[in-house]
């Protein structure tokens, strides 16, 4: 009788790839489900600590919670699994590998390939040991049949891993041009006509004490309460999230009271006064802001003031690239509008304070200028689409406190159509169809309501 021989082998693994996958999942919780499609079992990770961290990531993702290293560490502490990681700071060390997030599909493939190879090797080793067992030589066919299913499964694992499509492809959906063109609105979808388009980001900047926070608060409260604002008829109430790291609670409540609002009017205005948000030019800050916006189903977000919510230097272009990447771009992708307040430099002609990159991450930039205590104007200095008018003149009124358009009483859109018709020399007696045709020839789109109002205004000599 021969003795039983056990075959040994050295498993394959890549610890850097494993850290990169885990770090990417902490950096961007949205990819956890995609990673799970390939790495279905934590055993795919070679290092035991990595298996523990991966289990925590899956559990947090299933619960809809953030997967940042603080949350992961807290989860492991609550489940008494943190003791399986000799050094708790190791979770943060792994998180640092999230900087390779752009390559995470390749790192997932490396981990999956090694795991499949190790599983296959283990299966083949068991088969070889089966053949070496005493008595197997007398029944080789029986011994092979005994392990055939395991061998087929091992081969299937290797084939599935090496031939699988790159998982990153499933994360992205190209535009369907038919749907895109069919869904294009006939008119600009304004939240506040000429100033804030739905789903777009704008920056309003001015010297200190000009009143941009007051104007923005009035806009936010009116949209939330469903009241008229800046000559625009009331719209249905909408959720507004206001992040204020500039004004005290007393300042805000006094202004709202002077604007004619009480607590019963403000259920849709979600106001965060000096919140302890992570800086918004970081991944964590963007995730926290997105969580608030999604929870409250906000249509508009106000950031007052941008210099208070960033960590990088205002003179560094990377600061605003990071702000756009982590906070503004995700909001724009969700169709959420943003008003970002900012200060000017000492010289108004040089624009916003700090890097010129500030204007690259918004759809329009407005300069607010105070002529007197009651007269102000907003001048559009940059716009991607050039929708609306480039200058908005305002009058600040009291009792109740409010801002009004200094346009002679016509809504800005109606006034714009009136001006175009005058420039084109269209007769005042022209009907709606003739006016629409003239506007179409000039590249101007307007609703029937706007055209009718413009015709009436011209006939009345307004």
Contacts of 90 (CB under 8 A, 6+ apart): 49
Residue 256 scores a pLDDT above 80: yes
Q: Supply the pLDDT for residue 297.
A: 93
**What proportion of the chain, given as a percentage, has pLDDT over 90?**
44
Q: Do 379 and 393 contact (CB within 8 A), yes or no?
A: no
- What average pLDDT does the structure give for the chain? 85
Residues 420 and 400 in one domain: no
Same domain, 233 and 96: no
Measured CA to CA, the distance from residue 105 to residue 169 in angstroms comes to 9
Whether residue 401 sits in one domain with residue 277: yes
Strand order of the β-sheet with 364-370 is: 269-273, 240-244, 300-304, 337-343, 201-206, 364-370, 375-383, 391-397, 402-405
If asked whether residues 136 and 213 sit together in one domain, one would say no
Cα(121)–Cα(118) distance, rounded to whole angstroms? 5
pLDDT digits (tens, 9 = 90+) for 401-454: 999 988 555 666 777 788 789 889 999 989 889 999 999 888 888 888 788 878
User: 378 and 360: one domain?
Assistant: yes
**Band of residue 158 on the pLDDT scale cut at 50, 70, 90:** low
Phi, psi of 180 (to 5 degrees): -60, -45
Question: What pLDDT is stored for residue 415 in this prediction?
Answer: 72
Tell me, yes or no, whether 5 lies in a domain: no
Beta-carbon contacts of 432 under 8 Å, excluding residues fewer than 6 positions away, are 448, 451, 452, 455
CB contact at 8 A, 214 and 255: yes
User: What angle do helix axes 69-78 and 48-62 make, rounded to 10 degrees?
Assistant: 100
* Residue-range definition of the domain harbouring residue 420: 416-459
For residue 188, being part of any structural domain is answered with no
Same domain for 334 and 377? yes
CATH number of the domain bearing residue 317: 3.40.50.300
pLDDT of residue 110: 92
Q: How far apart are CA 213 and CA 269, in angstroms?
A: 15
Domain boundary among 171, 204, 224: 171
Residues 295 and 436 in one domain: no
With contact defined as beta carbons under 8 Å apart, do 311 and 326 qualify?
no
Predicted confidence band at 167 (pLDDT cuts at 50, 70, 90)? very low
254 and 387 share one domain: yes
State pTM to two decimals.
0.57
Say what the pLDDT of residue 143 is.
Answer: 60
In the prediction, which pLDDT does 354 show? 67
380 and 440 in a common domain: no
- pLDDT at residue 140, rounded to an integer: 63
């Amino acid at each position: 009788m021969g003795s039983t021989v056990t075959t040994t082998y050295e498993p394959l693994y890549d610890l850097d790839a494993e850290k990169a996958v885990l770090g990417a999942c902490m950096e961007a919780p949205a990819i956890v489900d995609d990673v799970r499609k390939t790495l279905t079992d934590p055993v795919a990770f070679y290092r035991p600590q990595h298996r523990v961290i991966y289990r925590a990531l899956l559990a947090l993702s299933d619960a809809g919670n953030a997967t940042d290293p603080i949350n992961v560490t807290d989860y492991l502490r609550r489940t008494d699994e943190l003791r399986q990681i000799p050094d708790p700071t190791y979770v943060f060390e792994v998180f640092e590998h999230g900087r390779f997030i752009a390559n995470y599909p390749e790192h997932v493939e490396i981990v999956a390939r090694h795991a499949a190879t190790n599983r296959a090797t283990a299966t083949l080793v068991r088969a070889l040991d089966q053949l070496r067992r005493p008595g197997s030589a007398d029944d080789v066919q029986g011994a092979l049949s005994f392990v055939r299913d395991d061998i087929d499964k091992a081969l299937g694992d290797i084939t599935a891993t090496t031939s699988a499509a790159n998982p990153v492809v499933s994360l992205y959906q190209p535009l369907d041009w038919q749907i895109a063109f069919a869904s294009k609105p006939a008119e600009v979808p304004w939240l506040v006509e000429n100033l804030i388009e739905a789903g777009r980001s704008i920056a309003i900047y001015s010297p200190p004490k000009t009143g941009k926070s007051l104007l923005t608060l009035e806009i936010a409260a009116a949209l939330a309460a469903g009241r008229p604002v800046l000559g625009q008829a009331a719209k249905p109430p909408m959720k507004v999230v206001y992040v204020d790291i500039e004004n005290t609670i007393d300042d805000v409540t006094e202004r709202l009271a002077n604007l004619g609002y009480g607590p019963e009017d403000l259920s849709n205005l979600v106001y965060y006064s000096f919140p302890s948000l992570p800086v918004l030019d970081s991944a964590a800050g963007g995730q926290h802001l997105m969580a608030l916006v999604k929870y409250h189903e906000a249509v508009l977000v106000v950031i007052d003031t941008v210099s208070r919510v960033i960590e990088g230097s205002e003179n560094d272009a990377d600061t605003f690239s990071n702000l756009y990447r982590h906070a503004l771009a995700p909001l724009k992708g969700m169709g959420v509008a943003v008003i970002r307040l900012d200060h000017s430099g000492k010289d108004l002609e040089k624009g916003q304070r700090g890097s010129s990159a500030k204007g690259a991450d918004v759809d329009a930039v407005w300069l607010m200028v105070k002529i007197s205590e009651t007269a102000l104007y907003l001048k559009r200095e940059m716009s991607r689409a050039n929708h609306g008018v480039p200058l908005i003149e305002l009058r600040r009124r009291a009792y109740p406190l409010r801002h009004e358009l200094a346009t002679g009483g016509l809504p800005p859109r109606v006034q714009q159509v009136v001006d175009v018709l005058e420039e084109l020399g269209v007769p005042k007696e022209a009907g709606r169809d003739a006016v629409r045709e003239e506007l179409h020839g000039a590249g101007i789109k307007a609703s029937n309501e706007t055209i009718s109002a413009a015709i009436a205004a011209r006939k009345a000599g307004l």
